[in-house]
Structure 1
Amino acid sequence: MNILKWVGPVGLLAALVIGDQIRINRPAHKYRLTMEVETPDGVKSASNVVSVHPYRGYQPSGKVTSRGDAVVLDLGGGRNLAALMLHDDKGSADFDGANFVAMRAYQAAGRKIAFRDVSSQTGAVPVTGELMPVLASFTDPRDASTARRLQPDDLSPLGTGTRLRSVTVEAVPNGFWPIDFGGGLGEPVTRGVTAKLPWATSEGEAARALAAIGFPNTPEPATALARK
Protein backbone atom coordinates (compact mmCIF):
# COMPACT_ATOMS: atom_id res chain seq x y z
CA MET A 1 0.00 0.00 0.00
CA ASN A 2 2.84 2.37 0.80
CA ILE A 3 4.20 1.82 -2.70
CA LEU A 4 0.84 2.46 -4.32
CA LYS A 5 0.55 5.92 -2.80
CA TRP A 6 3.61 6.99 -4.78
CA VAL A 7 2.32 5.75 -8.14
CA GLY A 8 0.27 8.87 -8.78
CA PRO A 9 2.96 11.47 -7.91
CA VAL A 10 5.68 9.54 -9.74
CA GLY A 11 3.48 9.17 -12.81
CA LEU A 12 2.67 12.89 -12.75
CA LEU A 13 6.34 13.78 -12.42
CA ALA A 14 7.23 11.50 -15.34
CA ALA A 15 4.49 13.09 -17.46
CA LEU A 16 5.80 16.57 -16.63
CA VAL A 17 9.38 15.63 -17.51
CA ILE A 18 8.36 13.97 -20.79
CA GLY A 19 6.10 16.88 -21.68
CA ASP A 20 8.87 19.37 -21.00
CA GLN A 21 11.31 17.43 -23.19
CA ILE A 22 8.76 17.42 -26.00
CA ARG A 23 8.31 21.18 -25.57
CA ILE A 24 12.07 21.77 -25.69
CA ASN A 25 12.85 19.46 -28.61
CA ARG A 26 9.78 19.73 -30.83
CA PRO A 27 10.59 21.41 -34.16
CA ALA A 28 9.32 24.89 -34.89
CA HIS A 29 8.90 23.72 -38.47
CA LYS A 30 10.11 21.22 -41.04
CA TYR A 31 10.92 21.81 -44.65
CA ARG A 32 11.59 19.71 -47.73
CA LEU A 33 14.51 20.81 -49.88
CA THR A 34 14.24 19.47 -53.43
CA MET A 35 16.87 19.58 -56.14
CA GLU A 36 16.10 18.89 -59.81
CA VAL A 37 18.75 18.44 -62.48
CA GLU A 38 18.26 18.16 -66.22
CA THR A 39 20.40 15.46 -67.83
CA PRO A 40 20.55 13.90 -71.30
CA ASP A 41 18.55 11.04 -69.77
CA GLY A 42 15.82 13.30 -68.44
CA VAL A 43 15.12 15.20 -65.23
CA LYS A 44 16.45 13.64 -62.04
CA SER A 45 15.51 14.82 -58.56
CA ALA A 46 16.11 14.16 -54.89
CA SER A 47 14.76 15.72 -51.71
CA ASN A 48 15.23 15.61 -47.96
CA VAL A 49 13.15 16.75 -45.00
CA VAL A 50 14.91 18.84 -42.36
CA SER A 51 13.56 19.89 -38.96
CA VAL A 52 14.36 23.28 -37.42
CA HIS A 53 14.50 23.75 -33.66
CA PRO A 54 14.52 27.03 -31.74
CA TYR A 55 16.26 27.10 -28.39
CA ARG A 56 13.73 26.50 -25.61
CA GLY A 57 16.09 25.47 -22.81
CA TYR A 58 16.71 27.10 -19.46
CA GLN A 59 20.09 28.70 -20.09
CA PRO A 60 20.15 32.44 -20.79
CA SER A 61 21.34 31.95 -24.36
CA GLY A 62 21.00 29.44 -27.14
CA LYS A 63 20.55 29.27 -30.87
CA VAL A 64 18.41 27.74 -33.58
CA THR A 65 19.55 24.31 -34.75
CA SER A 66 18.43 21.83 -37.38
CA ARG A 67 18.39 18.08 -37.90
CA GLY A 68 18.64 16.19 -41.16
CA ASP A 69 20.98 15.22 -43.98
CA ALA A 70 22.35 16.89 -47.07
CA VAL A 71 20.59 16.10 -50.35
CA VAL A 72 22.71 13.80 -52.54
CA LEU A 73 21.40 13.19 -56.05
CA ASP A 74 22.64 10.20 -58.06
CA LEU A 75 22.84 11.27 -61.69
CA GLY A 76 23.93 7.86 -62.99
CA GLY A 77 27.18 6.92 -64.63
CA GLY A 78 29.11 7.53 -61.44
CA ARG A 79 28.04 11.17 -61.30
CA ASN A 80 26.40 12.89 -58.36
CA LEU A 81 25.45 16.28 -57.01
CA ALA A 82 25.05 17.23 -53.35
CA ALA A 83 23.30 20.23 -51.84
CA LEU A 84 25.17 20.57 -48.56
CA MET A 85 23.79 21.88 -45.28
CA LEU A 86 26.21 24.75 -45.78
CA HIS A 87 26.03 28.22 -47.28
CA ASP A 88 28.72 30.56 -48.53
CA ASP A 89 28.90 33.85 -46.65
CA LYS A 90 31.36 35.87 -48.73
CA GLY A 91 33.83 33.02 -48.81
CA SER A 92 33.25 31.83 -45.24
CA ALA A 93 31.36 28.70 -44.23
CA ASP A 94 27.86 29.55 -42.95
CA PHE A 95 26.16 26.67 -41.15
CA ASP A 96 23.20 28.75 -39.90
CA GLY A 97 21.81 29.26 -43.40
CA ALA A 98 20.24 25.80 -43.35
CA ASN A 99 18.24 26.82 -40.28
CA PHE A 100 16.63 29.81 -41.98
CA VAL A 101 16.50 28.88 -45.66
CA ALA A 102 12.76 28.14 -45.60
CA MET A 103 11.84 31.42 -43.91
CA ARG A 104 14.10 33.45 -46.19
CA ALA A 105 12.90 31.71 -49.35
CA TYR A 106 9.27 32.42 -48.48
CA GLN A 107 10.20 36.02 -47.74
CA ALA A 108 12.04 36.27 -51.07
CA ALA A 109 8.89 34.94 -52.76
CA GLY A 110 6.97 37.93 -51.40
CA ARG A 111 5.47 36.50 -48.23
CA LYS A 112 5.94 38.80 -45.25
CA ILE A 113 6.43 36.15 -42.61
CA ALA A 114 8.44 35.70 -39.42
CA PHE A 115 10.23 32.57 -38.24
CA ARG A 116 7.17 31.46 -36.24
CA ASP A 117 5.02 31.57 -39.39
CA VAL A 118 6.98 29.09 -41.50
CA SER A 119 5.06 26.05 -40.26
CA SER A 120 1.80 27.49 -41.61
CA GLN A 121 3.08 28.10 -45.14
CA THR A 122 2.00 25.98 -48.09
CA GLY A 123 3.52 25.34 -51.48
CA ALA A 124 7.09 25.20 -52.72
CA VAL A 125 9.13 28.33 -53.43
CA PRO A 126 12.44 28.70 -55.27
CA VAL A 127 15.81 28.80 -53.56
CA THR A 128 18.07 31.10 -55.54
CA GLY A 129 20.97 33.52 -55.23
CA GLU A 130 22.50 33.82 -51.77
CA LEU A 131 19.94 31.34 -50.41
CA MET A 132 21.39 28.55 -52.53
CA PRO A 133 23.27 25.94 -50.50
CA VAL A 134 26.81 25.05 -51.48
CA LEU A 135 26.79 22.44 -54.26
CA ALA A 136 29.44 19.75 -54.48
CA SER A 137 30.16 16.61 -56.44
CA PHE A 138 32.33 13.63 -55.57
CA THR A 139 34.42 11.91 -58.21
CA ASP A 140 34.58 8.93 -55.87
CA PRO A 141 31.80 8.97 -53.22
CA ARG A 142 33.94 6.72 -51.03
CA ASP A 143 36.77 9.28 -50.94
CA ALA A 144 36.02 12.62 -49.26
CA SER A 145 39.04 14.29 -50.83
CA THR A 146 37.53 13.92 -54.33
CA ALA A 147 34.95 16.62 -53.55
CA ARG A 148 34.75 19.52 -55.95
CA ARG A 149 32.57 22.58 -55.70
CA LEU A 150 30.14 23.36 -58.50
CA GLN A 151 28.28 26.56 -59.26
CA PRO A 152 24.49 26.53 -59.75
CA ASP A 153 24.79 28.02 -63.23
CA ASP A 154 27.52 25.66 -64.41
CA LEU A 155 27.24 21.90 -63.96
CA SER A 156 29.25 21.22 -67.11
CA PRO A 157 31.85 19.19 -65.15
CA LEU A 158 29.07 16.62 -64.74
CA GLY A 159 28.67 16.24 -68.49
CA THR A 160 27.24 17.95 -71.54
CA GLY A 161 23.55 18.69 -71.25
CA THR A 162 23.54 18.61 -67.45
CA ARG A 163 22.19 21.69 -65.73
CA LEU A 164 20.46 22.64 -62.51
CA ARG A 165 16.77 22.97 -63.19
CA SER A 166 15.70 24.14 -59.73
CA VAL A 167 16.16 24.04 -56.00
CA THR A 168 12.97 24.56 -54.02
CA VAL A 169 11.90 24.52 -50.41
CA GLU A 170 8.49 23.69 -48.97
CA ALA A 171 7.20 23.67 -45.41
CA VAL A 172 5.86 20.24 -44.42
CA PRO A 173 3.74 19.24 -41.40
CA ASN A 174 5.50 18.89 -38.06
CA GLY A 175 3.20 16.05 -37.16
CA PHE A 176 3.14 14.44 -33.74
CA TRP A 177 6.81 14.68 -32.84
CA PRO A 178 8.52 12.45 -31.62
CA ILE A 179 6.29 9.81 -33.23
CA ASP A 180 6.32 11.47 -36.66
CA PHE A 181 6.88 8.30 -38.62
CA GLY A 182 5.09 9.40 -41.79
CA GLY A 183 1.58 9.72 -43.15
CA GLY A 184 -0.84 11.34 -40.75
CA LEU A 185 1.80 11.38 -38.02
CA GLY A 186 3.89 13.92 -39.96
CA GLU A 187 6.90 13.95 -42.25
CA PRO A 188 9.94 12.30 -40.65
CA VAL A 189 13.39 13.84 -40.96
CA THR A 190 15.27 12.23 -43.86
CA ARG A 191 18.29 10.09 -43.04
CA GLY A 192 20.57 8.06 -45.28
CA VAL A 193 23.43 10.28 -46.44
CA THR A 194 25.91 7.64 -45.24
CA ALA A 195 24.46 5.17 -47.74
CA LYS A 196 25.75 7.50 -50.48
CA LEU A 197 28.75 9.04 -48.71
CA PRO A 198 29.91 6.42 -46.19
CA TRP A 199 32.30 8.81 -44.43
CA ALA A 200 29.75 11.62 -44.00
CA THR A 201 29.56 11.52 -40.19
CA SER A 202 33.34 11.44 -39.69
CA GLU A 203 34.63 14.87 -38.68
CA GLY A 204 38.06 14.11 -40.13
CA GLU A 205 36.76 12.94 -43.49
CA ALA A 206 34.20 15.75 -43.69
CA ALA A 207 37.03 18.22 -43.02
CA ARG A 208 38.89 16.79 -46.02
CA ALA A 209 35.81 17.25 -48.19
CA LEU A 210 35.24 20.86 -47.10
CA ALA A 211 38.90 21.69 -47.56
CA ALA A 212 38.69 20.32 -51.11
CA ILE A 213 35.82 22.69 -51.95
CA GLY A 214 37.44 25.75 -50.39
CA PHE A 215 36.44 25.73 -46.71
CA PRO A 216 39.48 24.55 -44.74
CA ASN A 217 39.74 24.55 -40.94
CA THR A 218 35.97 24.59 -40.48
CA PRO A 219 34.62 23.69 -37.00
CA GLU A 220 32.30 20.66 -36.91
CA PRO A 221 32.57 20.02 -40.66
CA ALA A 222 30.35 16.91 -40.55
CA THR A 223 27.33 19.15 -39.89
CA ALA A 224 27.54 20.16 -43.54
CA LEU A 225 26.41 16.61 -44.35
CA ALA A 226 24.44 15.29 -41.38
CA ARG A 227 22.94 16.87 -38.29
CA LYS A 228 21.59 14.76 -35.43
Structure 2
Amino acid sequence: MRKARLRRLLRRSGRGILGLDPSSFYSALDLPNRHWLRLYSSVSFAILTQGGLLVPGSRFSDLRCQRAWQAAAWLLLMLSAMLTTACGDVLGKSYPPYRYRLTVEIETPKGLRTGSSVIEVQTFRAARWMPSGGGGGGVGNKVKGEAAAIDLPNGQTLFALLETEWGWDWPVNLYALQVPYPTQPEVAARSPDGKWNPDLNFDMWMERVEAARGVFEVPRLREGLPSEHGVKPSGWPMLVRFHNTRDPATVEEVKPGELKAAFGKGYAVQRVTVERTEDPIGFDIPRRLPWLAKSNGSLVEHPRNEDGSLVPLSEAGLAVNLTGQAFHMRDFER
Protein backbone atom coordinates (compact mmCIF):
# COMPACT_ATOMS: atom_id res chain seq x y z
CA MET A 1 0.00 0.00 0.00
CA ARG A 2 2.75 2.44 0.98
CA LYS A 3 4.76 1.84 -2.24
CA ALA A 4 1.67 2.22 -4.41
CA ARG A 5 0.82 5.46 -2.62
CA LEU A 6 4.34 6.78 -3.16
CA ARG A 7 4.21 5.96 -6.85
CA ARG A 8 0.96 7.89 -7.19
CA LEU A 9 2.49 10.84 -5.39
CA LEU A 10 5.52 10.78 -7.66
CA ARG A 11 3.36 10.73 -10.77
CA ARG A 12 1.23 13.65 -9.56
CA SER A 13 4.16 15.81 -8.55
CA GLY A 14 5.29 18.11 -11.33
CA ARG A 15 8.67 18.82 -9.70
CA GLY A 16 9.05 15.55 -7.85
CA ILE A 17 7.90 14.88 -4.32
CA LEU A 18 11.23 16.06 -2.95
CA GLY A 19 10.85 19.42 -4.64
CA LEU A 20 13.87 18.68 -6.85
CA ASP A 21 13.95 19.55 -10.50
CA PRO A 22 16.14 16.97 -12.26
CA SER A 23 15.85 18.80 -15.59
CA SER A 24 18.24 21.46 -14.28
CA PHE A 25 21.01 18.86 -14.40
CA TYR A 26 20.41 17.79 -18.00
CA SER A 27 22.04 20.69 -19.77
CA ALA A 28 24.72 21.18 -17.11
CA LEU A 29 26.21 17.69 -17.51
CA ASP A 30 24.97 16.88 -21.00
CA LEU A 31 23.63 13.46 -20.12
CA PRO A 32 20.65 11.87 -21.82
CA ASN A 33 17.41 12.74 -20.05
CA ARG A 34 16.44 9.13 -19.62
CA HIS A 35 19.61 8.44 -17.62
CA TRP A 36 18.97 11.34 -15.28
CA LEU A 37 15.33 10.35 -14.95
CA ARG A 38 16.38 6.89 -13.82
CA LEU A 39 18.96 8.35 -11.44
CA TYR A 40 16.54 10.88 -9.97
CA SER A 41 13.75 8.33 -9.58
CA SER A 42 16.09 5.86 -7.88
CA VAL A 43 17.39 8.45 -5.40
CA SER A 44 13.91 9.83 -4.70
CA PHE A 45 12.36 6.42 -4.21
CA ALA A 46 15.21 5.23 -1.98
CA ILE A 47 14.78 8.23 0.32
CA LEU A 48 11.00 8.11 0.31
CA THR A 49 10.77 4.44 1.21
CA GLN A 50 13.00 4.65 4.29
CA GLY A 51 10.57 4.57 7.20
CA GLY A 52 7.67 6.26 5.44
CA LEU A 53 9.54 9.50 4.82
CA LEU A 54 7.50 12.45 3.58
CA VAL A 55 4.31 10.42 3.47
CA PRO A 56 1.50 12.86 4.41
CA GLY A 57 0.41 12.37 7.97
CA SER A 58 3.65 10.71 9.07
CA ARG A 59 5.91 12.15 11.78
CA PHE A 60 8.42 13.13 9.07
CA SER A 61 6.06 15.42 7.21
CA ASP A 62 6.85 18.62 9.10
CA LEU A 63 8.64 21.38 7.22
CA ARG A 64 12.03 20.98 8.90
CA CYS A 65 12.23 17.26 8.16
CA GLN A 66 11.18 17.85 4.60
CA ARG A 67 13.91 20.44 4.13
CA ALA A 68 16.50 18.18 5.76
CA TRP A 69 15.63 15.29 3.48
CA GLN A 70 15.52 17.58 0.44
CA ALA A 71 19.07 18.66 1.25
CA ALA A 72 20.11 15.01 1.64
CA ALA A 73 18.51 14.18 -1.69
CA TRP A 74 20.34 17.03 -3.39
CA LEU A 75 23.61 15.79 -1.91
CA LEU A 76 22.99 12.25 -3.12
CA LEU A 77 22.02 13.48 -6.53
CA MET A 78 25.13 15.64 -6.82
CA LEU A 79 27.32 12.75 -5.67
CA SER A 80 25.71 10.46 -8.21
CA ALA A 81 26.29 13.07 -10.90
CA MET A 82 29.97 13.36 -10.04
CA LEU A 83 30.41 9.57 -10.04
CA THR A 84 28.56 9.29 -13.32
CA THR A 85 30.70 11.87 -15.09
CA ALA A 86 33.89 10.45 -13.58
CA CYS A 87 33.16 6.80 -14.35
CA GLY A 88 34.99 7.05 -17.65
CA ASP A 89 38.28 7.54 -15.75
CA VAL A 90 37.37 5.06 -13.03
CA LEU A 91 36.44 2.28 -15.45
CA GLY A 92 38.81 3.22 -18.24
CA LYS A 93 38.79 5.61 -21.15
CA SER A 94 37.08 5.99 -24.50
CA TYR A 95 38.96 7.70 -27.33
CA PRO A 96 37.35 9.66 -30.17
CA PRO A 97 36.55 7.54 -33.25
CA TYR A 98 38.56 8.22 -36.37
CA ARG A 99 38.29 7.18 -40.01
CA TYR A 100 40.96 6.29 -42.49
CA ARG A 101 40.95 5.34 -46.14
CA LEU A 102 42.67 2.13 -47.14
CA THR A 103 43.88 2.19 -50.75
CA VAL A 104 45.45 -0.69 -52.69
CA GLU A 105 47.20 0.05 -55.98
CA ILE A 106 47.66 -2.73 -58.55
CA GLU A 107 49.84 -2.53 -61.65
CA THR A 108 48.18 -4.13 -64.68
CA PRO A 109 48.99 -4.42 -68.40
CA LYS A 110 46.47 -1.62 -68.97
CA GLY A 111 47.71 0.76 -66.30
CA LEU A 112 47.21 1.31 -62.61
CA ARG A 113 44.03 0.04 -60.96
CA THR A 114 43.07 1.08 -57.43
CA GLY A 115 40.47 0.16 -54.89
CA SER A 116 39.75 1.78 -51.54
CA SER A 117 37.44 1.67 -48.56
CA VAL A 118 36.80 3.82 -45.50
CA ILE A 119 37.25 2.20 -42.09
CA GLU A 120 36.22 3.69 -38.74
CA VAL A 121 37.86 2.68 -35.48
CA GLN A 122 37.03 3.62 -31.91
CA THR A 123 39.33 2.48 -29.11
CA PHE A 124 38.56 1.84 -25.44
CA ARG A 125 41.14 1.30 -22.70
CA ALA A 126 40.30 -0.54 -19.48
CA ALA A 127 41.34 0.90 -16.12
CA ARG A 128 44.54 -0.30 -14.45
CA TRP A 129 42.67 -1.85 -11.53
CA MET A 130 40.60 -4.05 -13.80
CA PRO A 131 41.95 -7.58 -14.44
CA SER A 132 42.60 -6.86 -18.12
CA GLY A 133 43.46 -3.19 -17.76
CA GLY A 134 46.47 -1.07 -18.27
CA GLY A 135 48.48 0.68 -20.91
CA GLY A 136 47.00 -1.08 -23.90
CA GLY A 137 46.77 -4.53 -22.26
CA GLY A 138 43.04 -4.19 -21.79
CA VAL A 139 42.13 -2.50 -25.06
CA GLY A 140 38.94 -2.98 -27.03
CA ASN A 141 37.83 -1.52 -30.33
CA LYS A 142 34.74 -1.00 -32.45
CA VAL A 143 35.21 -1.25 -36.19
CA LYS A 144 33.04 -0.23 -39.14
CA GLY A 145 33.99 -0.67 -42.75
CA GLU A 146 34.52 -3.16 -45.52
CA ALA A 147 37.13 -4.72 -47.75
CA ALA A 148 38.58 -2.76 -50.66
CA ALA A 149 37.61 -4.08 -54.11
CA ILE A 150 40.00 -3.61 -57.04
CA ASP A 151 38.40 -4.20 -60.44
CA LEU A 152 41.01 -5.56 -62.84
CA PRO A 153 41.00 -5.14 -66.65
CA ASN A 154 40.67 -8.91 -67.12
CA GLY A 155 37.16 -8.77 -65.65
CA GLN A 156 38.10 -10.19 -62.25
CA THR A 157 37.98 -8.43 -58.89
CA LEU A 158 40.65 -8.58 -56.23
CA PHE A 159 39.47 -8.05 -52.64
CA ALA A 160 41.76 -6.60 -49.96
CA LEU A 161 40.26 -8.05 -46.80
CA LEU A 162 39.85 -6.65 -43.30
CA GLU A 163 42.45 -9.08 -42.02
CA THR A 164 45.87 -10.43 -42.81
CA GLU A 165 47.89 -13.55 -42.09
CA TRP A 166 49.27 -12.26 -38.80
CA GLY A 167 45.99 -11.16 -37.25
CA TRP A 168 42.26 -10.66 -37.66
CA ASP A 169 42.54 -7.33 -35.81
CA TRP A 170 44.53 -5.87 -38.69
CA PRO A 171 42.05 -3.02 -39.48
CA VAL A 172 42.11 -1.92 -35.84
CA ASN A 173 45.86 -1.43 -35.82
CA LEU A 174 46.61 -0.58 -39.44
CA TYR A 175 46.45 3.21 -39.24
CA ALA A 176 47.55 3.52 -35.61
CA LEU A 177 50.69 1.45 -36.18
CA GLN A 178 51.91 3.97 -38.73
CA VAL A 179 52.20 6.47 -35.86
CA PRO A 180 55.21 6.05 -33.55
CA TYR A 181 54.79 5.37 -29.85
CA PRO A 182 55.94 8.03 -27.38
CA THR A 183 59.37 7.45 -25.88
CA GLN A 184 59.87 6.83 -22.18
CA PRO A 185 61.41 10.28 -21.62
CA GLU A 186 58.42 11.90 -23.37
CA VAL A 187 56.00 10.03 -21.14
CA ALA A 188 57.97 10.79 -17.99
CA ALA A 189 58.03 14.49 -18.90
CA ARG A 190 54.21 14.59 -18.86
CA SER A 191 53.74 12.27 -15.89
CA PRO A 192 52.92 14.04 -12.58
CA ASP A 193 55.57 12.04 -10.74
CA GLY A 194 58.10 12.18 -13.56
CA LYS A 195 58.01 8.40 -14.02
CA TRP A 196 56.94 6.01 -16.74
CA ASN A 197 53.17 5.51 -16.84
CA PRO A 198 51.73 2.90 -19.23
CA ASP A 199 48.26 4.47 -19.23
CA LEU A 200 49.70 7.88 -20.05
CA ASN A 201 51.85 6.27 -22.73
CA PHE A 202 48.75 4.85 -24.39
CA ASP A 203 46.87 8.14 -24.01
CA MET A 204 49.72 10.03 -25.66
CA TRP A 205 49.86 7.51 -28.49
CA MET A 206 46.12 7.90 -29.10
CA GLU A 207 46.58 11.68 -29.15
CA ARG A 208 49.20 11.26 -31.86
CA VAL A 209 46.96 8.92 -33.84
CA GLU A 210 44.14 11.48 -33.64
CA ALA A 211 46.43 14.31 -34.76
CA ALA A 212 48.28 12.42 -37.51
CA ARG A 213 47.55 13.48 -41.10
CA GLY A 214 48.97 12.68 -44.50
CA VAL A 215 49.38 9.55 -46.59
CA PHE A 216 51.22 6.65 -44.96
CA GLU A 217 52.63 3.86 -47.11
CA VAL A 218 52.07 0.56 -45.30
CA PRO A 219 55.25 -1.57 -45.14
CA ARG A 220 55.13 -4.91 -46.92
CA LEU A 221 56.29 -6.80 -43.83
CA ARG A 222 55.49 -6.14 -40.19
CA GLU A 223 58.53 -5.66 -38.00
CA GLY A 224 58.53 -6.62 -34.34
CA LEU A 225 56.27 -9.66 -34.76
CA PRO A 226 57.46 -13.28 -34.56
CA SER A 227 58.26 -15.02 -37.84
CA GLU A 228 56.53 -18.22 -38.85
CA HIS A 229 58.73 -20.82 -40.56
CA GLY A 230 61.28 -18.10 -41.15
CA VAL A 231 58.78 -15.81 -42.91
CA LYS A 232 57.95 -12.41 -41.44
CA PRO A 233 54.23 -11.58 -41.15
CA SER A 234 52.66 -9.43 -43.84
CA GLY A 235 51.75 -5.82 -43.17
CA TRP A 236 49.38 -5.82 -46.13
CA PRO A 237 45.81 -7.09 -46.20
CA MET A 238 45.05 -10.61 -47.33
CA LEU A 239 44.12 -10.56 -51.01
CA VAL A 240 41.49 -12.95 -52.40
CA ARG A 241 39.50 -13.47 -55.57
CA PHE A 242 36.45 -15.54 -56.45
CA HIS A 243 36.36 -17.71 -59.53
CA ASN A 244 32.61 -17.16 -59.28
CA THR A 245 31.47 -14.24 -57.14
CA ARG A 246 28.09 -15.92 -56.66
CA ASP A 247 29.72 -18.94 -55.02
CA PRO A 248 31.67 -18.29 -51.79
CA ALA A 249 33.27 -21.74 -52.02
CA THR A 250 35.35 -20.53 -54.99
CA VAL A 251 37.34 -18.04 -52.92
CA GLU A 252 41.10 -18.23 -53.41
CA GLU A 253 43.94 -16.37 -51.73
CA VAL A 254 46.32 -14.46 -53.96
CA LYS A 255 49.66 -13.80 -52.31
CA PRO A 256 50.90 -10.21 -52.89
CA GLY A 257 54.00 -11.52 -54.64
CA GLU A 258 52.07 -13.97 -56.81
CA LEU A 259 49.74 -11.76 -58.85
CA LYS A 260 51.66 -12.63 -62.02
CA ALA A 261 50.97 -16.34 -61.49
CA ALA A 262 47.32 -15.67 -60.72
CA PHE A 263 46.46 -13.10 -63.41
CA GLY A 264 49.31 -13.12 -65.89
CA LYS A 265 52.23 -10.97 -66.91
CA GLY A 266 52.14 -7.31 -65.89
CA TYR A 267 50.15 -7.73 -62.66
CA ALA A 268 51.73 -6.67 -59.34
CA VAL A 269 50.90 -4.86 -56.12
CA GLN A 270 52.44 -1.42 -56.33
CA ARG A 271 51.66 -0.19 -52.81
CA VAL A 272 49.15 -0.04 -49.96
CA THR A 273 48.41 3.29 -48.28
CA VAL A 274 46.29 4.70 -45.47
CA GLU A 275 45.25 8.29 -44.81
CA ARG A 276 42.84 10.04 -42.48
CA THR A 277 39.51 11.02 -43.95
CA GLU A 278 36.09 12.33 -43.00
CA ASP A 279 34.43 10.62 -45.96
CA PRO A 280 31.35 8.49 -45.24
CA ILE A 281 31.70 4.76 -44.84
CA GLY A 282 30.53 2.99 -47.99
CA PHE A 283 29.03 -0.48 -47.98
CA ASP A 284 29.41 -1.75 -51.52
CA ILE A 285 30.62 -5.28 -50.80
CA PRO A 286 27.14 -6.74 -50.07
CA ARG A 287 26.09 -5.65 -53.55
CA ARG A 288 29.11 -7.35 -55.09
CA LEU A 289 28.69 -10.47 -52.96
CA PRO A 290 24.94 -10.86 -52.39
CA TRP A 291 25.34 -14.16 -50.51
CA LEU A 292 27.30 -12.32 -47.79
CA ALA A 293 24.12 -11.12 -46.08
CA LYS A 294 23.10 -14.74 -45.49
CA SER A 295 26.47 -16.01 -44.30
CA ASN A 296 26.64 -16.99 -40.64
CA GLY A 297 30.20 -17.34 -39.47
CA SER A 298 32.27 -19.06 -42.13
CA LEU A 299 31.60 -18.32 -45.79
CA VAL A 300 30.49 -21.93 -46.23
CA GLU A 301 29.38 -24.65 -43.85
CA HIS A 302 32.17 -26.39 -42.01
CA PRO A 303 32.51 -29.89 -43.49
CA ARG A 304 32.47 -33.00 -41.32
CA ASN A 305 34.25 -36.31 -41.41
CA GLU A 306 32.38 -39.59 -41.82
CA ASP A 307 32.26 -40.00 -38.04
CA GLY A 308 30.54 -36.63 -37.68
CA SER A 309 33.54 -34.75 -36.35
CA LEU A 310 34.53 -31.45 -37.89
CA VAL A 311 37.29 -31.44 -40.46
CA PRO A 312 40.36 -29.65 -38.98
CA LEU A 313 40.52 -26.01 -40.01
CA SER A 314 43.94 -26.59 -41.56
CA GLU A 315 42.27 -29.00 -44.01
CA ALA A 316 38.84 -27.36 -44.38
CA GLY A 317 39.83 -24.75 -46.96
CA LEU A 318 39.88 -20.97 -47.09
CA ALA A 319 36.10 -20.59 -47.41
CA VAL A 320 35.70 -22.19 -43.98
CA ASN A 321 38.52 -20.24 -42.37
CA LEU A 322 37.21 -16.89 -43.62
CA THR A 323 34.13 -15.24 -42.11
CA GLY A 324 31.88 -12.47 -43.35
CA GLN A 325 33.70 -10.07 -40.99
CA ALA A 326 36.72 -10.25 -43.30
CA PHE A 327 34.63 -8.50 -45.97
CA HIS A 328 32.16 -6.33 -44.09
CA MET A 329 31.84 -4.94 -40.55
CA ARG A 330 29.17 -2.86 -38.86
CA ASP A 331 29.95 -1.84 -35.24
CA PHE A 332 31.98 -4.98 -34.78
CA GLU A 333 33.79 -5.14 -31.44
CA ARG A 334 37.31 -6.52 -31.29
- TM above 0.5, yes or no, is yes
* Number of residues of Structure 1 aligned to a counterpart in Structure 2: 201
Match of 1:32 in 2: 101
Q: Is the 8 A contact 1:123 1:171 kept in 2?
A: yes
Residue identity opposite 1:159 in structure 2: G
Match of 1:123 in 2: 214
Q: Is the 8 A contact 2:95 2:206 kept in 1?
A: no
CA distance in 2, matches of 1:162, 1:132: 17
CA distance in 1, matches of 2:246, 2:297: 10
CA distance in 2, matches of 1:44, 1:217: 28
Match of 1:105 in 2: 178
Pair 1:25–1:163, CA change in 2 (3 A): same
Pair 1:116–1:209, CA change in 2 (3 A): farther
> Could you say which structure has the larger radius of gyration?
2
Q: Is the 8 A contact 2:95 2:124 kept in 1?
A: no
CA distance in 1, matches of 2:120, 2:256: 24
Match of 2:120 in 1: 51
Q: Is the 8 A contact 1:38 1:44 kept in 2?
A: yes
Pair 1:16–1:144, CA change in 2 (3 A): same
Pair 1:144–1:119, CA change in 2 (3 A): same
Pair 1:192–1:15, CA change in 2 (3 A): farther
In structure 2, the gaps of 5 or more residues are: 1-11, 36-87, 133-138, 187-203, 222-233, 303-312
Counting only pairs closer than 5 Å after superposition, residues 71-150 of structure 1 correspond to structure 2 as 71-89=148-166, 94-107=167-180, 114-127=205-218, 128-129=220-221, 130-150=234-254
Residue identity opposite 2:23 in structure 1: P
Residue identity opposite 1:208 in structure 2: V
CA distance in 2, matches of 1:40, 1:29: 36
**Relative contact order: is structure 1 or structure 2 higher (C-alpha 8 Å, sep ≥ 6)?**
1
What secondary structure does 1:46 align onto? Answer: strand
State the Cα deviation string for residues 206-227 of structure 1 (Å, max 9, x = none). Answer: 5339978647456xx2111111
Most deviating of 163-172 and 4-13: 4-13
| % identical aligned pairs | 24
How far the C-alpha of 1:27 sits from its partner, in A, is 4.5
Pair 1:57–1:5, CA change in 2 (3 A): farther
Bigger fraction of residues in strand: 1
CA distance in 2, matches of 1:215, 1:115: 35
Q: Is the 8 A contact 1:106 1:125 kept in 2?
A: no
2:300 to 198, 208, 213: 208
> Taking structure 2 as the reference length, what is the TM-score of the superposition?
0.51
How far the C-alpha of 1:26 sits from its partner, in A, is 7.6
CA distance in 2, matches of 1:160, 1:39: 8
Match of 1:179 in 2: none
CA distance in 2, matches of 1:44, 1:202: 30
Pair 1:213–1:163, CA change in 2 (3 A): farther
Pair 1:216–1:209, CA change in 2 (3 A): same
Match of 1:193 in 2: 285
In structure 1, the gaps of 5 or more residues are: 173-185
Match of 2:272 in 1: 167
Bigger fraction of residues in helix: 2
Most deviating of 61-70 and 35-44: 61-70
Q: Is the 8 A contact 1:147 1:213 kept in 2?
A: no
Q: Is the 8 A contact 2:125 2:140 kept in 1?
A: no
Residue identity opposite 2:217 in structure 1: P
Pair 1:114–1:196, CA change in 2 (3 A): same
Residue identity opposite 1:87 in structure 2: T
How far the C-alpha of 1:132 sits from its partner, in A, is 0.9
Q: Does 1:222 align with 2:324?
A: yes
Residue identity opposite 1:9 in structure 2: S
